[in-house]
Structure formats: structure tokens, C-alpha cells
Structure 1
Amino acid sequence: MSIRSAPARRVVVWCPDWPVVAACASSQGAVPGPAAVFAANRVVSCSPAARTAGITRGMRRREAQARCPELAVFAADEDRDARLFESVAGAVEELVVGVEVVRPGLVAVPVGGATAYFGGELPLAEQLIDHVAVRAGVECQIGIADGLFAATLAARRGAVVEPGGTPEFLAPLSITELDQPDANRAELVGLLHRLGLRTLGAFAELAEREVTDRFGRAGLVAHRLARGQDERPPFRRTPPPELELVESFEPALDRVDTAAFTARTLAARFHAGLASRGLACTRLGIYATTENGEELGRVWRCAEPLTADGVADRVRWQFEGWLRAGRGTRPTAGVNLLRLVPEEVVEGESLQLGLWPGGGAAEHTPESDRAGRALVHVQGLLGPEGVCTAVLEGGRGPGERVRLVPWGERRVPAAGHDAPWPGRIPAPSPTVVHDPAPPAVVTAVDGAEVGVTARNEATAAPSWVTVADGRPRRVVGWAGPWVVQARWWAPDGVGTHARLQVVLADGPDEAGDAGDVGDAGDVVDALLLRWSAEPGRSPVWTVEGTYD
């Protein structure tokens, strides 16, 4: 038998397009025109002016810039979003207690006694909109409903749902509303859509037992939301006091990079303490005291139980907001006491834990443990960004396909890394990628410099390559070119880049017959060359990589 209980009534404050708002606010100059934030070359947020120009979420960067050449482009940055959102959360907290940051751009507060103080829910909503605009300088929308999910959707529509009216409010909405950020329900939503369930109401009409049998726990949570209930059952464990993690610092933490490094160790201890009792945290309280006695605090609500990395991320984001706030709101001294409090926990079965701490038997070995401790020690000397590992990403050139991730961060490729990427060089990739790339000269047998034609073909067969003012070396094999046209949409011209694989040899016969590769005395090298032709500049060859 399922437990039914009316969800707590909540007010949600939503700042539309927060990633692009934060990106524009942190830029050196004003961005009056269209702007968009990109992750893995896809739009994750765009301004109203960009949407008017036809830019939409998920659009590729090339298509977006083709539709709107004056588009201001920003990279996604969760730390920046969280740091700047602290001013909004602080403004809401000045009016209503119990602020919970769901994610940068979205906060929730309980209705409770606030409505009695302000004279009703509509006056409360008006006060919040005006106060956030004055104190934080940003526009926001308010939604009030029973439950966080319904209140979030109400905020996107600027609506106040009457008590008890949440199921009727949700019923006509699209099933795609279940795929909220950080919820990871895209696959489930796609499956429901293919099954003909196009609205939340149609999904809610299914029997709970049938949904659980077919879709498992993820389907059960989504089904509860579609019916206007909380995503988790209403009963909670009261966290024992000993699960709080209290840490003092000497000297005090007054730098974000130092705080970020400390957060990783504290998060691991905090998460291990909960896991040892079969619990997982869903609401995390972060409280700090400065050397001057200032009290700082914020509660983060999470759609899914937090992992150790999730705890560390939120602690880092919160320190970003505290230590990099504007004058007048920034603490006057460093943090010398930090408390991590599990404000709400659920049974550990809500979070599937791995059998080994490293995530798999192959990753958790004595050798990997020793290497990990050594890297952590180096990070202690150089800072979190001083030790990085590589993650393969999407891209065409070998340098574009590698992203450096600080040790300890999640090494997960971005969305779209496995896309076709026309123009990508075939395997194998170079073992060495040069930065900066040394210049080269590629010539044909008659001494003319080799280039690339408008038909994406080499102007002549390459015969000699001279690297960095060295002596010419004969080409005994080559492949390509692989051509990529950049900024083809721009009015100022087209930039063309081409890559060429060559095998070079020197030996006794280098000035005469090419001979056979591997003759006695030959020194054979394989290089990846890059040819760049940009508007207003002469084409140039460089050595992008070396094959071993």
C-alpha cells in the first residue's frame, strides 16, 4: 500500500536563463546583444534576444553562429553560476527563512508563516520579485504550489496553484517536463513518449504497481511527481547529531582554491560516515564561522542522493559565493570553522553504492592507491589545478580531443564526444601533440610549396618537408588532406584548415632516389601536419603531432 500525503507547499524563485545571465554579468564589458552559453559545442542556455534570432537549447554552435553571427559565446561554468547566484539566495533569505538552493538559478522556501506575515501568497510573491530585483539586480519569476516539482513548473509560468490543485495543474503539461536539470530522466521520458504517454496526466493515470514493475525506481519517482506528490515518501529519518562533520582551520580559509582542495577531503569523510549507517544525504547544510565571528549558512536541496563528489561540488560552489561576493556582502575574514550537516537523509538503497571505493576492481589496487596518495600530496603543494588527468572529448584535431581534469574530479566525457565529427583524422592518434606547434615547409618535387585547393585536394604530391629551419627531409608516404572549413558563415571570409599525415626519412639516398623505407641508415619519422589558411594571412604549415 502506498503512503499518500499532501506535499509541503513551497515558493520557488526562478531566475530565467541563469547561466547566460551569470556569464554576461561576469564578462569584462556589457553584452547588450544576443548571448548563449555552450557546453560540448551545444547551447545550454541563451538570452531572449538569442531566442528571437532562432537559437534554441541543444543547437550546435556552428548552426547557432550561422543564424546569429553577432552571438556572444560563453563557456559553461558551474562555479561562476553558483558564485553569482549567492546574491539572489541572500536576497530571498532577507525576506523568508529556510532558503534551499536547488541549483544555481533556482531556490525554494517553505510557505509556512511567511504568507501570514506578508498577508497572503500573492503579496509574498510580489515582495520577493521586487526585493530580488533591487538587492541582486536580476529579474525572477515566482511559482507557488504543493511540492517542489510542481512549484518549479509553476515558477516557469509565473503561476500560483491553489492548495490541492497540483494534480489538475500538472495533468495537461508535456511529459518532457519530467526531464529537469540534474534529474537524468531523458531516456525515461523518451521511452514514455514512444509509448504514447504525451502528458503528465496520462502517465499519472497508470497504476503505481505497473509503473514500478516496468520502469523500476526511476519510473516510480517520476510517477509520484506526475501525480503531484513528493518524489520521495514523506517520512524521513532524523539524522543523528554525530553525523555532522565539524572542522576547524588554522590558518583560516580565505582562498577559493584552498577551500576547494579541502572540500574534497571533507566530502569523502562526510559521505563515508553516512554510508557506514546505510544512509544518503538529500539536503545538505553548509555552515561556516569566520575569524571575526560572522555566521554563514546555506542549505542545498538535491534531486538525487548526494555522492562524495556532489558534496564536494556544493561546498566549493558555496565558498565561491562567500569568498568572491561583492564588497559589503563578502565576509571580512577567512573561515575558521565549517560544519556539514545532513539536513535530510534517506535509506542507503536510494543510492547504489559500488563494491569497491574506486568504482571497480580494476581501479582499486594497491598500486592505484599509492599513485592516488602521491597525486594528492602533489596537489597539496601545487593546488587542485596542479595535477590533472586527460579525458577524451569530441573534436577533429588531437589537441581538441583532450580535456584536462583536476585529479579527484569526475572524468566523464561531455555530451556529443562520440559524434561523427566530419574531418576528424583517422586512428591512430599522434603520441605527442606539440604546443606551440613548430612551423614547417612542405614542397613538391619541383620545389613549389604544397597547399590545398578549393576542391579540398593537395595542389601537388608532397616530396620534401622542412621543420623549424632544419634540413629538408624526403616524404616516403603521405595521406590526406582532411579539410575543415571554419567560420564559413562569417561575412569576413572563410578559414580553412587541413591535416596531412606524412612519413619522413633521411639516409644516404636523401638527395637522390627515394629508396625503400627501412634501408640501412634511414631515420624514419611520422608527423601530423596542419595547413591553415585564414582571411588576410598567407597559408602556413605547422607540425601538430608526432607518431612514435
Structure 2
Amino acid sequence: MGPLMQGGPQRSLVLWFPDWPVTALARAGDPAGGGAPADDTARAEDAAPVAVVAANHIVACSAAARAEGVRRGQRRRDAQARCASLALVPADEGRDQRAFAPVVAAVEQRAPGVQLVRPGLCALRARGPARYYGGEAEAAAVVLSDLRALGLDDVRVGIADGPFTAEQAAMAATTAHDPVFVVPAGGAAGFLAPLPVGVLDVASFGAPPVRGPKTDLVGLLARLGVQTLGEFAAMPEERVRERFSERGVRLRDLAGGRDSQPVQPRTPPPELHREVAFEPPVEIADQVAFGMRIAADEFIAGLGAVDLVCTELRVELVGDRGERSERVWLHPASFDAAAVVDRVRWQLGEEAEGLRSGVALVRISPAAVDAASHHRPAIFGSAPEERVHHALSRVQAMLGHRSVVTPAIGGGRWLSERQVLVPWGDRAVLAKERARPWPGSLPDPLPPTVFAEPPTVEVTTLGGFAVDVDERGMLTVAPGVLVEGDRRRAIESWAGPWPVIERGWDAARARRAYRFQVVDADGVALLLVCEGGVWTLEGAYD
């Protein structure tokens, strides 16, 4: 926690953006971060009931969802029971923060010294803006006007003695039609008195977190008959300290309007991103890459000025018709300017169908950074792996992103699906795919030889009759001979069949096949697949 105020609580202004995760989801399609016009944003949020879910509970919901009875804190099941058409979206803190960053920047243009509490909630000292704009309500009106220009209509403002009281004023005493509530100086205790003590559990400007076992202070107060903040503030300080220690005393002071914690302004982060707007839009990838050279140099130089290097690069492309392509590129070491330009060109090549019009805007920003000291060359020359990386990167720069690949093991039921080729420089994030349950997949040990395009073979009896699998998944006759091209092999032993049934609910993509293991007269073990009467060779245990 920061330093305590001397001489009473500090006048504070808190901005609250109700259900910010839903707003961030609606604004995610605007790559410039400036937001859509107000009516467009409202239509995006209210067109269909939407809720954001975390840990199987609703953390935010749209106005349309609230109209159907959905509320924050509900279980997913209960929310769906109230609104059958509810669209559920997983919570994404990164998405919320990215959407809120330009909002904070816009507030800082009018009133510097903003404390970012969490996406959707920020605070600032009220004295400076009030003196400059002619009053606290006038300062709030100016900030709200700028936010409405960004397409944010539902913003609530609370102004009071201390950020805790201002937060409660914004959340408990405002509406969409009357978004500003000012608690007069010295009136914090009277405003807070009727509020329930439960707000102490959810307030962002509260007591410091508990070290060790957590005490259910609010629950205990309720059992003692203390239901409101006014009743809690009236309790003797010595008794509160005896039962709840210093944290309880701090909460009692908050309940009485004695908020000694000042607003703690953030230090604005350096502007590390760069963007280039093309007017008119450009359709040739080489022209876009050429236009990005200066921006890429400035991007790397800006990181170097703060002793950082970029290890993960986010590239955002915006088409003339509003199409958008965003991707995070990885690097085994760190990006230089040439590598940044290459990623922009490669993304344009891979998103040729997604971007159906000319490129109007390109933005590059660091998705992950590292200290520059960790990436300086060795004193006695580069290590062998660095020389290999340099050579392969040059080949990749000349021939394209997928010209140099490395093999990795992925997930899937079929052996050919598990062979994944990862472009050089990208990390193979496949552990989650491998860990998924794959019913019907082959257990270990797996055959060392896997055919990317399984050759067709014939399986017959010793008398030459074809072998097939009936509707019950049983062999029609025992296999005796395997014919692969001009080569005939006698089958000494066999095992199976093991069914692999996929997508039975989709007639167009449904698949039903059967695996067999056979051993020929030479002792070679083979893995066969029978699908629709056709036999193929999937792998060999050689």
C-alpha cells in the first residue's frame, strides 16, 4: 500500500465501466482501440444476450442478458436456464486490458495521474481537474464527453473523500441516465452509513490482503447483528482491534468515511508499439513490407532505449473494408528490424484470403519482452546453436515462413495427424493437444514408421477370398495373405479389429474404420486399417 494521507481523506474521482469484459468483447473488433460510434457499440452489446464466464460463474453480462434474468455471480447452468439463447464467452484478462489501455490514455489526456485499479475501474485525484475545469462535476462532464467520443456511453463517476467512498458512490448511487454522483466534502460517513457491510468484501479500495488464514469478517459481523457500514463504524476501535486486528480497524475507518489511502497515480508505460497507415490502401505485400522498414527500426530502437528486446511480436493488419488479422509471432532469440518486416510480409501471405481488400493499417507491438542483457553476444563468439539459427533464419527470410520446419508430435487418433511440422522460430505448443483424450487412438508402443499417405493393400484368405469387417465390427473370415503391389506376404498371426468412430453426428465428416495388427512370415509387424472394405497400411513396427 502507498503512503497514508495527512490531514484527512483526499478528494478522489473514480471512473467505473459496468460489465467491462462485455464491452471489451464488443470492442475487440476495432484494432485501433478507438472504439466504434456509440450507437454501433450499443447494438453490438445488446443485439444478443452475452455473458463472460470464469471458473464456471458469470463475471459480466450484457444488458440483453440482464433483461432475461442473468446476473453476475450466477453459475453457468443457472444463467443458461434463465436465458436459453445466452452466448457464453470465456474470460480473457489480456483482452480486457488491451481494450482498456486506450481508455486510460484518453483520461490521462484530460486529467493526468490516473491509478489503474483493474480493467473497467480507475481513479484520479479530483482537486487538479476540479480547479482547472471549474468544479468537480464540470471535470467529470469533460472526461465523460471524451469517453463518449470513444463510443463509451455507460460510464459512471463517483467523487468523494477518498477512493473507497468514491468507488461506492460510482457503483451504488449512479444510473446510466445520471452517471455522476458527488458526495460533498465531509459527507462520506453519512453516505456510507446505510450501505451493507458486504461491500467491504468486493471493494477494490479496501484493506490490504490477509496474510495467513482469511477471516470471514463480513460473515461474522452479520452474525453479530452488524448489517450496515454505519453500525460497523460505530463499534469501539479497541474491540475491533482485539477481534479483527489492524485489518479490521482499517475496514472500520473505511466504513466511517476515514479513507487515509490516497490515489496512487501510475507511471505511464513507454509507447513501444508502432503503426503505419497506408493511404490509399496497399495490396502488394512487398510495398507493405517496404513501408514498415522505418517503423520496424523505430520499434526496435524504442525497446533498446529501455534495455528490452522483443521475444514475441504481435502483428495486426487492418483491411480497407474492415477485415482484421492479428497474430503473435515467436522468436527463438529476439527480434531485429529485419525479422519484424519478415513477419509482416509472411502474415500478409498467409492471410491472403482473410484480407480481401488493400491493407489500410499495420500495427506492431511487443507481446512479450525480455531484458536486453540476457541476449547480448558471448564474449568469445557465438555459440553453435546461434550460428545455426542465423543460417536457418536467412533461408527462411529468402524462401518464406514455412520453408524451414521442424518435426513435433501433436494430438490425434491417426498416426499421420500426430506428425506436425512447425515453422522454424515458432514454439510447438502441442502438449495440450497431446494430453486431450483421444478415444480410439493407438496406445504405446507406436510404430516407428508412419506413412503420411498410407498405401492401399489387399487382405485375403489363403484361398483368395477378400477379407472385410461386418456391421457388428467382426471379421468376415480369418486373414491369411497380405498383398502389397506385386509382393505377397503370408500372415502368421493377427489381432483386432479395434474400431475408430469419428464425428458420428456429422454425416458429411463421419468416419468409421477398424485397425488390425498383423505379423507376416518374416516376423515384420504391420498396422492395417480397414475402412469401407478398403485396406491401407498405416504403419510398420520395424
TM-score, with normalisation over the residues of structure 2? 0.46
User: Which structure has the greater CA radius of gyration?
Assistant: 2
TM-score, with normalisation over the residues of structure 1? 0.46
